[in-house]
Amino acid sequence: MFVNKCHHVLSTRTSTRRLLKGVTTWKRCLTTGSREPEGPVVATEIPGPRSRSLLQELNSIQQASSVQFFADYEKSSGNYIMDVDGNALLDVYMQISSMPLGYNHPAMLEALADPVNQKIIANRPALGVFPAKDWPNRLKNVLLEKEVAPPGLSHITTMMCGSCSNENAFKNIFIWYAEKQRQGAPFTKEEIESCMINEKPGSPHYSIMSFKGAFHGRTLGCLSTTHSKYIHKMDIPAFDWPIASFPEYKYPLEENVRENQQEDKRCIAEVEELFERYKNEKRMPVAGVIIEPIQAEGGDNHASSEFFQELQRVTRKHGAALLIDEVQTGGGPTGKMWCHEHFNLSTPPDVMTFSKKMQLGGYYHLEDFKPKQGYRVFNTWMGDPSKVILLEAILEIIKKENLLDRVTRVGDYMLKNLKDLQNEHSNTINAVRGRGTFIAFNCASSQLRDAIVKKLLTKGIQAGGCGSQAVRLRPALTFTERHADIFFDALRSVLKE
């Protein structure tokens, strides 16, 4: 491995090629129009001395043990994140999948520089009571635009983040379910009085079904549907809600078709059994089912289109709502705006939550899920118009540069290269999988996974883990084959070492 005078850490092949060209300066990236490093720059260990000093300072005032390093966002650019010690890292993790165009994209900076937009940012409204005059048009022209909204979902409720989106979507589902039981009748005196002391009939015992390995957030209701890591749930009271098995497939998929089909059937049968048990034995009928198109935090666990089609059929059969959580998969990383579009569902999901790449949170839903009364789903901000400004700029770039097509092309390129590496290092990595650039592979053990992620960091690659053994890749939509080659040079070197 060569290290040139600017500390660019690259593989032998890549370094030699660039050193011959005399490349030691910043280069304008044609993809984003911003200035990116030509390659990773590793000047210190990571975290470096300045990061460690800042961590000590932060830890004195709050719990900060999850901090990996301190970033310099003023200097970060495109697909590269800069830290405070001068390291430039190719970021294939992108703030846990929440940066669609990378860092400091000119279109986003330009939107923030607009004097009209500055007044929107400066005067943040309580949207539920005092929205601005242009708010209906912004919703229709940005979030409900034909190429953005999930097909078949015409209503939207905006929120702040993924957790509060799911939390309030549960409320919408419970309200919808109760309205069906009430058959349009007004609230009774008994319901009004009993709900104030958390008792029936005003506080009915309904439930939300979720899946083993799921992650839907850390707020109280969401935690009862989150089952990925114990540290999220320890010491927190939870609802007695049903938990079904999510399919655990054998890889490669093409060599295990029959076994995986049987796994789908096993999990759907369990869903059916839980619907019946919670209705008849527990007296806590399932009002809704929440599921991720790909279980991200739980380990990038995939399920087939047939599984999701059958799940929708069973959910509808039992009169419950299907809520698809697209907080991490939404916004384009799978090659479609929404991952569930890959599944060819017979009808739209009843509710679909989003956040991360969409900059603000919220959920799309069918008209039937709009409450009849005001204040039933409400908080002070109900979203953030300033984030819709950024989202509008993002969506324009996605469309202008055909980024969803790029994601599909680059994702295919990455999966091919990863499968080649898997064949070369079958004792180290396995189960390569993904849609678009939403990609993961497993390591032989959790200790090996952690070692690979740390080794990649020393070579200037910021990656992430999920589940117990997976390395996950969450690059920006602007990620290209050139960036992928830099990543593969580093990964190949790590696997050889």
CA R_g for the chain: 24
Task: In whole angstroms, give the CA distance from residue 182 to residue 94.
Answer: 46
DSSP letter (8 states) at residue 289 = E
Q: How far is CA 305 from CA 330, 440, 454, 477, in A?
A: 17, 19, 35, 24
First to last CA, the chain: 12
356 is catalytic: yes
Name every residue whose Cβ is closer than 8 Å to that of residue 38 and which is 6 or more positions away in sequence.
8, 18, 23, 24, 25, 26, 27
Question: Going by DSSP bridges, is the β-strand pair 207-211/286-291 parallel, antiparallel, or unpaired?
Answer: parallel
**Is 233 among the residues known to form the active site?**
no
Catalytic residue check, 75 = no
Q: Are 340 and 308 in contact (CB under 8 A)?
A: yes
Residue 380 annotated among the catalytic residues of the structure: yes
Q: What is the dihedral of CA 111, 115, 117, 122, to 10 degrees?
A: 130
Residue 55: count of CB within 10 angstroms of its CB: 17
- Tell me the torsion sign for CA atoms 234, 359, 457, 465: positive
Q: CA–CA separation, 404 vs 412, rounded Å?
A: 12
Q: Between 481-496 and 12-21, two packed helices, what is the crossing angle to 10 degrees?
A: 130
Nearest to 464 by CA among 214, 89, 211: 89
Question: Of 380, 405, 420, 458, which residue is the catalytic one?
Answer: 380
Specify the DSSP element, H or E, that contains 52.
helix 49-59
Between helices 115-122 and 106-113, what is the axis angle to 10°? 80
| 250: Cα separation from own chain's centroid | 24
User: Residues in the chain, how many?
Assistant: 497
Q: Angle at Cα 468 formed by Cα 466 and Cα 470, nearest 5°?
A: 50
Could you say which of 170, 211, 215, 488 is catalytic? 215
Cα distances (angstroms) measured from residue 13 to each of 16, 20, 381: 5, 11, 52
Which of 85, 264, 325, 384 does the annotation list as catalytic?
325
Q: 83, 315, 354, 356: which one is catalytic?
A: 356
d(CA 11, CA 194): 68
Give the count of alpha carbons within 13 A of 402, CB side only.
5
Encode 119-145: b = buried (16+ Cβ within 10 Å), e = exposed: ebbeeebebbeebeeebeebbeebbbe
SS3 letters across 84-149: CCCCEEEECCHHHHCCCCCECCHHHHHHHHCHHHHHHHHCCCCCCCCCCCCHHHHHHHHHCCCCCC
Active site residues: 215, 325, 356, 380
